[in-house]
């Protein structure tokens, strides 16, 4: 494992409650979606050699950690989140030698590598699952197998063990003729859930994790790790199964019940995570763990990330990403600053005394934030709103995560037809809601996909203005696996790299602030102006200590496209006057910020950080 070329936070500064301070408390993580980052062999898919070729770009940006979405061997039903061999690289991305080269070259630059860990489920083509089809095999109980509902013919409608629906559409149960039973899959039918109740499953997972850490990786991002413990009755029956003591939820408008309340943050969640910590990470230094945490509250985040409990370093909470959604993910409402502020404030408050926060607006499962909550209808609005949301996120307390292209202000793809999409969730949702359940019109559903489909984040990285945005050669024999956003001609790394006013340059400054200023990295977070309809404002403060310069910062961001008044509480902190020297960073520039504050207003998408 590698060491950084920068200083960690001194122990005189309190971070998550651990001593010494973990290295990642003033780090910035950059997520790479390998199939869309850089193609070096012209097959239309990004690869490991492509990531290695772009390490200097990432080093210039200043990021400390690269999180790679799955590159393991996979049938690619869900773009690699369906793994058929955890200890091999899919030929789509290269070889184990390519992985070793990436590790070595990243470590030379002081950059750590974190791999995606997908162990709630495997591919149905994994050897474990193939063996599990035989009820006499030692792997027979490695997955959630159940017989058909009594009185029903196996494999016919209504014979499923309960009425749970998959998050990707349809039933969460798939019939397997070879075994004569159904298996549970919360996601695609090609992603059967592993049975973590079986100690042999957990042992195999821990052995695999140790194998990768011994090979040199620096940690794991753990996919839907809070779904591994299911709620069952005393006899091991799931809710809604015949004879179960646990009642299922009612069936919803799509024809299925929701498994999440019974699969998220289950009764053995803490036990499993603590066991993983002992079996994999005990005695190791320099690693980082972060878990994707559907169904986890801020209060539970404090417990799981509290170092005293020895579970995970960080979690991704998702309650704030529900902003803009109505009764379902696919029914949209306008953006509301107060709603977002309230949810993020709860997340910050929960880890005030112990634990740590993960800070993100974008990833491979979310649309581009500048299109979803910002404004990409003009170049000026795109740049301003991209900077505004970047400043807002990075000034919170926690570890920020940047998703590839976010530092450029990349936008949604704005696809206009269903055949342009590749995402399993999006395609299945259209078919189920429009064609089967008939609960949403095709026009409405296409508008929803344009705004929130996961494919919006998966279009190729925009490196330059050439035919395929520099993702692959202009004369490559095949087109990229998904369409390149046409606006890459104007929005690309080459155009922004040397532009001091670009979104890229702004992100470089945000990253440097977290490295260099302990107040940004670890200062207390206090919300102000809690009722303001447009301005999200808070302070960050840190007491000075030997070798540590403390102080207080005011952060105020106008999350709207119009000029608005600065509220009384924020203005009271700057009413004695502010000079350019006091401006730490601003989306418009220091001189403009001074004028805005003097006028007690913020221009459209204006954000400012003031040292008080």
What would the pLDDT profile of 373-414 be if each residue is shown by its tens digit? 999 999 999 999 999 999 999 999 999 999 999 999 999 999
- Cα 608 to Cα 150, 302, 395, 537: the distances in Å are 64, 29, 10, 10
Q: What 3-state class would DSSP assign to 555?
A: strand
Q: CA 238 to CA 161: how far, in whole Å?
A: 9
> How many CB atoms lie under 10 A from the CB of residue 3?
12
pLDDT at position 278 is: 98
- Cα 228 to Cα 171, 191, 276: the distances in Å are 19, 13, 12
Q: CA 315 to CA 31: how far, in whole Å?
A: 15
With CA atoms as reference, report the closest residue to 119 among 92, 91, 142: 142
pLDDT confidence tier of residue 3, bands split at 50, 70 and 90 = low
> How many CB atoms lie under 10 A from the CB of residue 158?
10
pLDDT tens-digit series, residues 143-193: 999 999 999 999 999 999 999 999 998 999 999 999 999 999 999 999 999
- Of the listed 223, 248, 313, 603, which one is catalytic? 223
pLDDT at position 218 is: 98
Which run of H or of E encompasses 174? Answer: strand 173-176
Helices (H), ranges, 373-433: 379-394, 424-430
pLDDT confidence tier of residue 68, bands split at 50, 70 and 90 = very high
pLDDT at position 326 is: 80
pLDDT tens-digit series, residues 597-612: 999 999 999 999 999 9
pLDDT confidence tier of residue 122, bands split at 50, 70 and 90 = very high
Q: What is the DSSP letter of 483?
A: P
pLDDT at position 567 is: 87
The structure tokens listed for 449 are 């996909």
Q: Give the residue-averaged pLDDT of 450-466.
A: 96
- Of the listed 181, 292, 323, 532, which one is catalytic? 292
Q: Which domains does the chain have, with CATH numbers?
A: 23-120+199-229+265-415+453-497 (3.20.20.80), 523-611 (2.60.40.1180)
Strand 535-542 and strand 551-558: pairing?
antiparallel
Q: Which residues pair with 221 in a beta bridge?
A: 116, 290
The structure tokens listed for 312 are 């995970």
Identify whether 223 is a catalytic site residue. Answer: yes
Q: Are 128 and 142 in contact (CB under 8 A)?
A: yes
Q: CA 44 to CA 271: how far, in whole Å?
A: 43
Identify whether 218 is a catalytic site residue. Answer: no
Packed helices 298-305 and 337-350: angle between N→C axes, nearest 10 degrees: 30
């Amino acid at each position: 494992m590698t060491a950084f070329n920068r200083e960690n936070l001194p122990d005189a500064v309190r971070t998550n409650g651990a001593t010494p301070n973990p290295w990642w408390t003033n780090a910035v993580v950059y997520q790479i979606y390998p199939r869309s980052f850089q193609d070096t062999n012209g097959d239309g898919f990004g690869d490991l050699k492509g990531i290695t070729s772009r390490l200097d770009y990432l080093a210039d940006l200043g990021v400390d950690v690269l999180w790679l979405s799955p590159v393991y061997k996979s049938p690619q039903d869900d773009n690699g989140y369906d793994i058929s061999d955890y200890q091999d690289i899919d030929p789509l991305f290269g070889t184990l030698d390519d992985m070793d080269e990436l590790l070595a070259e990243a470590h030379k630059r002081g950059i750590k590598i974190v791999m995606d860990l997908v162990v709630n489920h495997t591919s149905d083509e994994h050897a474990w699952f193939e063996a599990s089809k035989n009820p006499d095999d030692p792997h027979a109980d490695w997955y959630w197998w159940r017989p058909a509902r009594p009185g029903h013919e196996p494999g016919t409608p209504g014979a499923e063990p309960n009425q749970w629906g998959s998050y990707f559409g349809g039933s969460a149960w798939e019939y397997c003729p070879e075994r004569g039973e159904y298996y549970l899959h919360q996601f695609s039918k090609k992603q059967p859930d592993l049975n973590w109740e079986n100690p042999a499953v957990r042992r195999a997972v821990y052995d695999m994790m140790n194998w990768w850490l011994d090979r040199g990786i620096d940690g794991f991002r753990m996919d839907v790790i809070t779904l591994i413990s299911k709620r069952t009755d005393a006899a091991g029956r799931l809710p809604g199964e015949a004879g179960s003591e646990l009642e299922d939820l009612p069936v919803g408008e799509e024809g299925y019940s929701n498994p999440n309340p019974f699969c998220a943050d289950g009764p053995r969640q803490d036990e499993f995570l603590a066991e993983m910590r002992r079996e994999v990470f005990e005695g190791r230094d320099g690693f980082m763990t972060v878990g994707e945490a559907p169904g986890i509250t801020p209060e539970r985040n404090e417990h799981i990330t509290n170092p005293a409990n020895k579970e995970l370093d960080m979690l991704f909470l998702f309650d704030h990403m529900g902003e803009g959604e109505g009764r379902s993910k696919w029914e949209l409402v306008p953006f509301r600053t107060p709603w977002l502020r309230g949810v993020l404030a709860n997340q910050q408050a929960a880890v005030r005394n112990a634990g740590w926060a993960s800070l993100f607006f974008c990833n491979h499962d979310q649309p581009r934030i500048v299109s979803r909550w910002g404004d990409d209808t003009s170049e000026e609005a795109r740049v301003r709103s991209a900077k505004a949301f970047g400043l807002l996120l990075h000034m919170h307390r926690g570890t920020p995560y940047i998703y590839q292209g976010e530092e450029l202000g990349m936008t949604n793809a704005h696809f206009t037809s269903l055949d342009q999409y590749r995402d399993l969730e999006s395609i299945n949702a259209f078919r189920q809601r429009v064609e089967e359940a008939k609960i949403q019109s095709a026009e409405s559903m296409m508008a929803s996909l344009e705004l929130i489909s996961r494919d919006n984040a998966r279009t190729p990285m925009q490196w330059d203005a050439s035919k395929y945005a520099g993702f692959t050669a202009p004369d490559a024999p095949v087109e990229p696996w998904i369409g390149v956003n046409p606006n890459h001609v104007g929005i690309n790394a080459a155009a922004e790299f040397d532009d001091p006013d670009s979104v890229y340059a702004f992100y470089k400054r945000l990253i440097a602030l977290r490295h260099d200023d302990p107040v940004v990295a670890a200062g207390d977070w206090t919300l102000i102006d809690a009722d303001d309809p447009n301005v999200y404002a808070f302070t960050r403060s840190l007491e000075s200590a030997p070798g540590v310069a403390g102080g207080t910062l005011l952060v105020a961001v106008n999350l709207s496209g119009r000029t608005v008044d600065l509220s009384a509480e924020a203005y009271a902190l700057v009413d004695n006057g502010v000079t350019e020297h006091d401006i730490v960073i601003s989306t418009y520039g220091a001189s403009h910020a001074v004028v805005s504050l003097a006028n007690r207003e913020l221009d459209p998408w204006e954000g400012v950080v003031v040292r008080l």
